[in-house]
Amino acid sequence: MKTSFIKFLGAVALMAGLASSASAAYIQGSIFFSGKVAVDTSSSNAAAATKITSWKALGSGSGLTGKLSVTDASGDFTPVLTNPFSLAAFTTPWVFTSTNIPNFWSVGGFSFDLSSATKSVAGSGFVVDAVGFLKGTGFENTPGSFSISVSGNKIDGRFNASADSTAVPEGGAAIALLGLSLLGLEGARRRLKA
């Protein structure tokens, strides 16, 4: 009987250890993009645009079309920054009223699945605010927002990821309490038996 009780304690300890290591990691930080964009209207009438027909990263040379330059990053995005710039691939063309676009942008193991977007006029240009989910290797899908402002044919894009403050339940404490309760029951059973 003593051997089975010790095995039981070992199993409870193992379950508590495994349960306490299961926690979600949400992406935290900001990433900034810059570059040029072509829209479906003339640059003098960018405010009337309904879609982006192409993206172009900063600099000269091949391989810049369909991408934007990562110009700054913080938090979990920091490793994405390399010199002179990392390049983020963007979906082309992008109709502003489109919804549910997987991998709207991707860079350095991160991607953004766009859920919906809203365009508003700002002077001779426009601003598009979008929401969706950021994905990254080793992270939980994180709700986030994406905002770009376009004036003429210049674009400045910013992506912010902010995690919900909802905590993932810590299973280790619950398992430990269950184990202690079962130990108490076993002790009470032995006293009654004796």
CA distance 91 to 54: 9
The two structure tokens encoding residue 95: 């109709």
95, burial (CB in 10 Å: exposed 0-12, middle 13-18, buried 19+): middle
CA distance 118 to 175: 46
CA distance 114 to 121: 20
User: pLDDT value at position 106?
Assistant: 92
CA distance 136 to 122: 32
Would strands 125-136 and 110-122 be described as parallel, antiparallel, or unpaired? antiparallel
Tens of pLDDT along the chain (194 residues) come to 554 544 444 444 444 444 444 556 899 998 888 888 888 887 667 778 888 888 888 776 777 888 888 888 888 988 888 766 788 899 999 999 999 999 999 999 999 999 999 999 887 778 888 999 999 989 999 999 988 888 765 665 554 454 433 334 445 555 665 565 666 667 667 777 76
CB 132 within 8 A of CB 114: yes
Chain-centroid distance of CA 122 in Å reads 28
Give me the phi and psi of 174, to 5 degrees please. Answer: -65, -40
CB 58 within 8 A of CB 70: no
CA distance 8 to 178: 12
